[in-house]
Amino acid sequence: MAVKKEDLNASNVVDVFFKGWLNQLRLLEDIEQRSLQVIKSQKEWIQGTRDQYDQLEENSKKLTTDWKVNVEEFLAKGQKEVGGQNFSELLNKIEDIGHKSQTIAFLPGKASFDILLNSRDQFEKTYIDALEQQKKAREELTKVYEESLEQLKQSEFSLFKPFELQAK
């Protein structure tokens, strides 16, 4: 009976070692998944900031338009002509200049966000591709490791089998 216990212990040690190795692989996969979650959260943050930036630009243009409308209403109550030039035409030009200058002012920021989003998307794709390659390599290694482990178990079983037969 002592031989069976040794055989059982040898098998248990190998199983414990194998389970520990598999747990490390699972931990690595968990870390990979958390990294992907961080990348996706980063994308949401960048996109949200970009959307707020767009909203700021829209609000700025609306403010310019509202300013023009208020000035027109004020002038409608008063005098329309000053120095021979029509105020409505002048206000339209001022509004147009305001919108164009706001577009020019916001353009570098928008371009920066677009570049940031594109580079982040490219990084995510590269990272996912690398994870897929690592996963394939791990699966191949696990298969080889399992086969080797099974051979080791069979060898140990064959080694202890004669002792077990003698003990009977």
Pair 4, 165: CB distance under 8 Å? no
Predicted pLDDT at 3: 46
Which tens digit of pLDDT belongs to each residue from 101-147?
Answer: 888 888 898 899 899 999 999 999 999 999 999 989 988 988 988 88
| C-alpha–C-alpha distance, residues 140 and 119, integer Å | 32
Predicted pLDDT at 156: 78
Return the bridge partners of 110, or none: none
Q: Which of 15-24, 26-35, 158-167 is most confident?
A: 26-35
What pTM value is reported for the model? 0.56
Binned at pLDDT 50, 70 and 90, residue 84 comes out as: very low
Binned at pLDDT 50, 70 and 90, residue 15 comes out as: confident
Binned at pLDDT 50, 70 and 90, residue 80 comes out as: low
Q: What is the SS3 string spanning the chain? A: CHHHHHHHHHHHHHHHHHHHHHHHHHHHHHHHHHHHHHHHHHHHHHHHHHHHHHHHHHHHHHHHHHHHHHHHHHHHHCCCEECCEEHHHHHHHHHHHHHHHHHHHHHHHHHHHHHHHHHHHHHHHHHHHHHHHHHHHHHHHHHHHHHHHHHHHHHHHHHHHHHHHHHC
